[in-house]
Amino acid sequence: MVVMTFLLVTIALVAMQPRPAPVPPVTAAVAPAPAPVAPLPEAPVETVEYIPPPAPAPAPVVEQVVSRADASLLELREAVRSREASDVLHQLALNAGTGPDDLPALARGVLGDFGYRVRSGDRLHALLVASLSNQKSDAYIDALLNTAAARGEFTPPFSLVLPTGRMDTGSLLQAMVRAAQS
């Protein structure tokens, strides 16, 4: 009985549904066919070779003598020096009659002033004393000490390291001159 009632109610609800509005038939608009296109004339095929632009002319080589003072704006105090520190130290040793024997003690004291502790067999101390004993130029000493520091043969004192990372040998040598003169 329940099934019968269910079927009657379902049929009655379907019959009471409103009818949808009739849908007008759809007509498709067809575009006219395009006019035939004339074929393109055959163009000759050419091989294009890439020609690179000419290389710029090399800059002319100009040889000039550049001093260490000219190469660094941070070390202007060296531009006013008329003599190299190594020459001054050698001359002071000759005038005092002490010779190069006092040079290791002088170097040890000045390095200590910069916060560097000289140990037995110290590479910085040995290179500095040897180069000054052999009357090498300031530029030579600068190149020697900075190359050795770059190779890791010694760690330069922090107070002698420039912002560029190089060791300030000019200040070291000038301090040695001041210490030798006092």
Could you please report the per-residue DSSP string of 52-92?
A: PPPPPPPPPP------HHHH-GGGGGGGG-SS-HHHHHHHH
* pLDDT value, residue 64: 46
Kindly state whether residue 33 falls inside one of the protein's structural domains.
no
Q: Are 118 and 108 in contact (CB under 8 A)?
A: yes
Q: Are 141 and 169 in contact (CB under 8 A)?
A: yes
Query: Mean pLDDT lowest for which of 7-21, 67-81, 154-168?
Result: 67-81
Does residue 134 carry a pLDDT above 90?
no
Kindly state whether residue 9 falls inside one of the protein's structural domains.
no
Kindly state whether residue 55 falls inside one of the protein's structural domains.
no
| Domain carrying residue 145 | 85-181
Most confident among 28-42, 61-75, 93-107, 161-175 (mean pLDDT): 161-175
Does this model's pTM top 0.85? My answer is: no
Backbone CA torsion sign across 118, 121, 122, 126: positive
Kindly state whether residue 78 falls inside one of the protein's structural domains.
no
Does residue 19 carry a pLDDT above 90?
no
Q: Which two tokens stand for residue 109?
A: 């004291």
Give the total number of structural domains in the chain. Answer: 1
Taking the C-alpha atoms of residue 106 and residue 153, their distance in angstroms, rounded to an integer, is 21
Taking the C-alpha atoms of residue 171 and residue 114, their distance in angstroms, rounded to an integer, is 10
pLDDT tens by residue, 153-166: 999 999 999 999 89
Kindly state whether residue 156 falls inside one of the protein's structural domains.
yes
Kindly state whether residue 27 falls inside one of the protein's structural domains.
no
Kindly state whether residue 72 falls inside one of the protein's structural domains.
no
